[in-house]
Amino acid sequence: MELNRRFGLALVVAVVGALTWSVISAVFGTVFFALTVASVVLPLQKRLEARGIPAYWSAVVTTGATFVGGLLVFSPLFVVAYVRREQLFGLVETLPETFSVTALGTTYELSLEEAQSMALDFMTVLLEDAARAAPDLSLKVLVFVMVLFGFLIGQGHAYRTALGVVPVEYRDAVRALHERTKDTLQAIYLLQIATAVGTFAMALPTFWLLGYDFPVTMAVIAGVLQFLPVIGPSLLIGAAALYHVSSGDVNAAILIVVVGGVVIAYLPDAIIRPRLAAMTADMPGSLYFVGFVGGLLTVGPVGVIMGPLAVALFTESVALLSDEVPEVPIPDEVPEVPIPDDAVAEPDGVSDDGSEGGGTDAGGPPPDVDGTNTDGGTDVPEPEQDADRDEDDV
């Protein structure tokens, strides 16, 4: 009776939650983002509590530190976009209207005028949308802080309640999914942020030594592109190389591809990621890319987090199922069934040794040396010769 009531209350919570989501769907992405960030910064709160700080104040400190850290990570992108907006427009406007390519003795001219116009229009619309979204962004930041703080305060009670609804025999699966969620979110946030910061630190002197006019701007863009899986800063390196080729400076294009490709695109992944391998959640880059792109195209910006998380939980569910299913060996080829010797019929009159005739049974056992048959029977002894008769013959 108690279990049925528990399931009934869980159903009520699900229905009310769906109704709540329909009402506050405009900030659903903000709430989801706050919950995922809270699960990542939760160890910081636990450490503060272990040092004797009350739960309330440890949640306050953790929320404040998370907010400040978010500003330090994401504010450079907005600052650079606002301060360098005129230079960015000027850079696009300096692109040549035509681009010549010579191949096999034939020169081809490509028109870049339409692409240039589309890029300028896109940048204009992007800046205008960002300016109009500033008030809504401020409100969403406030919602983010409130949800983050509320989750840190009540996360223990919420976890126990959610786990109590699940039947006992399935709680191990829920715990496994919970651990996979934490590992995946750490891989998305902590690992990507650490790699992005490392990319910025390595890209800044590289662009400065190569003589670019805006090394800070390009380094910030390279760091932000690190959040784009698989491609990453290589997109910026390729764009810079195409710009040099369109301007006729092939040597500069080769230099940025070689130096930038190694120092900016390759070394951060090769140096930082292996040292933080425990945060990768054993998720291949291909699956992460599928989740990233699929989530982004399906549910919008929040899909950057939701997509890889959904893929990770699906793979964990498949792993749990495979552990429960017994392994059934599948042979590579059908084995040959051995045929017993006595199943082969022999022709009549042919003994085992291949001779025809014979007074013994082919299937019977051979007689012993003393003349006693091994099948338990007794042979008839041969008659003895008369010794006196033999003497007379002599």
Tell me the CA distances in angstroms from 76 to 72, 137, 195, 222, one per residue in order: 7, 16, 16, 12
At 318, is the pLDDT very low, low, confident or very high (cuts 50, 70, 90)? confident
| Cα gap 358→393, rounded to integer Å | 34
Cβ neighbour number for residue 312 with a 10 Å cutoff: 24
Q: Answer for the pair 187, 292: CB distance below 8 angstroms, yes or no.
A: no
Q: Which residues contact 191 (CB under 8 A, 6 or more apart)?
A: 273, 276, 279, 280
At 32, is the pLDDT very low, low, confident or very high (cuts 50, 70, 90)? confident
**What 3-state DSSP class applies to 381?**
coil
Q: Which residue has better confidence, 28 or 96?
A: 28
| Cα gap 149→64, rounded to integer Å | 9
Q: Which residue has better confidence, 84 or 380?
A: 84
Q: What local confidence, expressed as pLDDT, does residue 330 receive? A: 58
The whole-number average pLDDT for the span 376-389 is 49
Percent of the chain with pLDDT over 70: 65
Six-digit token pair at 332?
């590579």
Reported as type and span, the H/E element at residue 66 is helix 55-83
Is 212's pLDDT higher than 80?
A: yes
The DSSP result for 228-259, as a single string, is STTTTTHHHHHHHHHHHHHTT-HHHHHHIIII
pLDDT of 168-200, one tens digit each?
888 888 888 888 888 888 777 877 788 888 888
Q: Which residue has better confidence, 67 or 337?
A: 67
Q: What local confidence, expressed as pLDDT, does residue 141 receive? A: 87
| Cα gap 201→350, rounded to integer Å | 93
Closest to 190 measured CA to CA, from 43, 391, 49, 337: 43
Among 26-30, 280-284, 376-380, top mean pLDDT goes to 26-30
Is residue 235 exposed (0-12), middle (13-18) or buried (19+ Cβ within 10 Å)?
Answer: middle
User: At residue 251, what is the residue type?
Assistant: N
The DSSP result for 151-201, as a single string, is HHHHHHHHHHHHHHHS-GGGHHHHHHHHHHHHHHHHIIIIIHHHHHHHHHH
Six-digit token pair at 173?
């699966």
Closest to 237 measured CA to CA, from 260, 213, 254, 216: 260
Query: Dihedrals φ, ψ of 284, to 5°?
Result: -60, 150
At 392, is the pLDDT very low, low, confident or very high (cuts 50, 70, 90)? very low
**What 3-state DSSP class applies to 226?**
coil
Is residue 36 exposed (0-12), middle (13-18) or buried (19+ Cβ within 10 Å)?
Answer: buried
- Asked which of 35-39, 180-184, 320-324, 343-347 is least confident by mean pLDDT, the reply is 343-347
**What 3-state DSSP class applies to 298?**
helix
Q: What local confidence, expressed as pLDDT, does residue 393 receive? A: 46
Q: What local confidence, expressed as pLDDT, does residue 153 receive? A: 87
pLDDT of 231-257, one tens digit each?
778 888 888 887 787 777 788 888 888
| Cα gap 117→138, rounded to integer Å | 32
Q: Which residue has better confidence, 280 or 200?
A: 200
Alpha carbon 259 to its chain centroid, in Å, reads 29
Q: What local confidence, expressed as pLDDT, does residue 114 receive? A: 66
13 Rama sector, left if φ>0, alpha if ψ -120 to 50, beta otherwise? alpha
Q: Which residue has better confidence, 366 or 325?
A: 325
Closest to 40 measured CA to CA, from 173, 190, 166: 190
Q: Which residue has better confidence, 380 or 283?
A: 283
Q: Which residues contact 206 (CB under 8 A, 6 or more apart)?
A: 259, 260, 263, 264
pLDDT of 105-146, one tens digit each?
666 666 666 666 776 676 677 666 667 777 788 888 888 899
Closest to 73 measured CA to CA, from 170, 200, 166: 200
| Cα gap 172→183, rounded to integer Å | 17
pTM (global) more than 0.85: no
The DSSP output letter for 280 is S
Q: What local confidence, expressed as pLDDT, does residue 360 receive? A: 47
